[in-house]
Structure 1
Amino acid sequence: MRELVFALEYELGCNRVADILADHPDARIRSLSLHATEERLWRVDHATGEPGALDDIEAAFLNNDYYADCLATEECGASQNTRVLDRTDDTLVLYSDWERTPTCASVPHIARDHLGDGVLFETRHESRHYTWRIIHSGEGDVTAFFRDLDGAVGDCAKTEMLRTTNTDSTGRTDTGGYELSSEQEAALVAAVEHGYYESPREVDVGGLADHLDVPRSTLTYRLRRAEEHLAKRHVAGDRPIDAPSAPLYSNK
């Protein structure tokens, strides 16, 4: 089995939820379940944030001009149904399903075309970055997958490869040969060199972003992913081999 992790970084105005999350930096959305057939896609999402952010996220999902995961840049004519499963002051759980049309495209459907059936998906959406973790058999055509993905997103998003590794029979990722992406490593090196991790800090994230000539949200995302990876590798080194892994959700 192979693990494929990448992120889509949406441009302003190309994805309503990405725009909302960029306006609410502390809000997050992660998938609890994600499934796709040739004709349909349905998923359950867990959003966290302040009440105003959750109001905006809920409104976007319930509006008929937003279809979760549809990559079509123009009206695609899909039929979507979204329901609120749970709502508190700081959490929102949404169920969405839509029936695709010939003009619809999505990451799960492109993955089905090139990576085969039985693909597993896990997603996380923060600011303009939409991170996908895919587990597949390893027998598909990853190059064709990214070619069609790039064609579907067009100029609306940049694709950033984060890692591609083997997984063992339990679904745990073998990170022994995985290194940080070049973008993550550059962010981490600059952060260390410019005193971001000193106490007190010698530079804040805004100043570091200016130095690297990248948006603040992009730098924050890359640092978080680099820190997450390094922390998990450190902890995994002290855990027994049968430690539970993060859940993945199946495409049936």
Structure 2
Amino acid sequence: MREFVFALEYDPGTNPVADVLAAHPDASIRSLSCHVTANSLWRVDHATGSPEALEELEAAYRDATYFADCLVKDDCGASCEVQVLDRSRDTLVVYTYWARTDVCTSVPHVALEYLGEGLLFETYREGRRYRWRIVLGNDAPIHAFFDALGDEVGECTGIEVLRLTDLDPERDASAGDDGEEALPDEQREALRAAVEAGYYETPREVELSDLAEDLGVPRSTLSYRLRRAEAALVTAFVDADDLLEVPTSSL
């Protein structure tokens, strides 16, 4: 089994839920379940945020022009059912179901067509970014799926590959008894800080010594952490041979 993780980035005005999340940085949505057949899609989402954000999210879900995950920008004519399963001051749980028309499509529907049945979907939304994680078989045609998805997404939504990795229990166990991430926290934090500060831009927007001073660590320590993180990421990228042929630029 492998996991394929990618993200969609919605432009303003192309997705009502993304517009609400962008207006409320405190809010986010994660999937509790997501199921698809050739003719329908249904899912349960768990949203958190301020009362104002949740009120606007509920309204966006109930919008007659919005069908959860449908990639068609114009009115596709689908019928949709929305039901609030739970609501508190900072939590919203929503069930959505829609019956597909001839013009409807979605990430799960494209995945079903190209990757087959038995897929597991997990999603997370924050701001305009919509991250998908799909667990699939080792022989699934990732390239054909991703190319087809790019065609369906069109020009209003960016798409980016994040990772393609094997689900190997022995490899996970070798990372440590506590199941820690491939990158130690200090390396991950150093890499994130370097990216945010423009260290990897051309030309660089910050020097290593200045970044180290901002982070309160010696220059040599920061240099070591970045080198180790870069080496781990490059090795993981090269090991994932299938990923090398997948376009990573926004469509």
Give the TM-score normalised by the residue count of structure 2. 0.71
Task: Say if 1:166 and 1:173, in contact at 8 Å, map to a contact too.
Answer: no
2:214 counterpart letter in structure 1 = E
SS at 2:154 equivalent: helix
Q: Residue 136 in 1 paired to residue 141 in 2?
A: no
Aligned to 1:82: 82
CA, structure 1 residues 136+198, in 2 after alignment: closer, same or farther (shift >3 Å)?
A: same
Aligned to 1:198: 214
Q: Residue 45 in 1 paired to residue 45 in 2?
A: yes
Task: Say if 1:115 and 1:138, in contact at 8 Å, map to a contact too.
Answer: no
Q: Residue 98 in 1 paired to residue 114 in 2?
A: no
Q: Residue 70 in 1 paired to residue 86 in 2?
A: no
Offset of residue 198 of structure 1:
3.3
SS at 1:152 equivalent: helix
2:104 counterpart letter in structure 1 = C
Aligned to 2:220: none
CA, structure 1 residues 33+174, in 2 after alignment: closer, same or farther (shift >3 Å)?
A: farther
2:41 counterpart letter in structure 1 = L
CA, structure 1 residues 3+73, in 2 after alignment: closer, same or farther (shift >3 Å)?
A: same
1:146 counterpart letter in structure 2 = F
Offset of residue 86 of structure 1:
0.5
CA, structure 1 residues 196+156, in 2 after alignment: closer, same or farther (shift >3 Å)?
A: farther
Instruction: State the alpha-carbon separation in 2 of the partners of residues 61 and 173 from structure 1.
Output: 41
Q: Which runs of 5+ in 2 are unaligned?
A: 184-188, 200-205, 217-228, 234-251
CA, structure 1 residues 196+100, in 2 after alignment: closer, same or farther (shift >3 Å)?
A: farther
Offset of residue 64 of structure 1:
1.6
What is the alpha-carbon root mean square deviation over aligned residues?
A: 3.0
1:104 counterpart letter in structure 2 = C
SS at 1:61 equivalent: helix
Q: Which runs of 5+ in 1 are unaligned?
A: 201-225, 231-252
Post-superposition Cα deviations, 1:34-83, rounded to whole Å, max 9, x if no partner, equal 00011110000000000110001000111221000000011111110000
Q: Residue 120 in 1 paired to residue 115 in 2?
A: no
SS at 1:155 equivalent: coil
Instruction: State the alpha-carbon separation in 2 of the partners of residues 25 and 197 from structure 1.
Output: 29
Instruction: State the alpha-carbon separation in 2 of the partners of residues 157 and 185 from structure 1.
Output: 30
Larger radius of gyration: 2
Matches within 5 A, 1:227-238: none
2:163 counterpart letter in structure 1 = R
Task: Say if 1:165 and 1:173, in contact at 8 Å, map to a contact too.
Answer: no
Q: Once superposed, which parts of structure 1, at least 4 consecutive aligned residues long, lie more than 4 Å away?
A: 172-176, 184-188
1:168 counterpart letter in structure 2 = D
SS at 2:214 equivalent: coil
CA, structure 1 residues 173+82, in 2 after alignment: closer, same or farther (shift >3 Å)?
A: farther
Task: Say if 1:3 and 1:173, in contact at 8 Å, map to a contact too.
Answer: no
Percent identity between matched residues is 49
Instruction: State the alpha-carbon separation in 1 of the partners of residues 117 and 80 from structure 2.
Output: 23
Count of aligned residue pairs for this structure pair: 197
Instruction: State the alpha-carbon separation in 2 of the partners of residues 110 and 173 from structure 1.
Output: 33
Task: Say if 1:48 and 1:91, in contact at 8 Å, map to a contact too.
Answer: yes
Task: Say if 1:166 and 1:174, in contact at 8 Å, map to a contact too.
Answer: no
Instruction: State the alpha-carbon separation in 2 of the partners of residues 108 and 185 from structure 1.
Output: 35
Give the TM-score normalised by the residue count of structure 1. 0.71
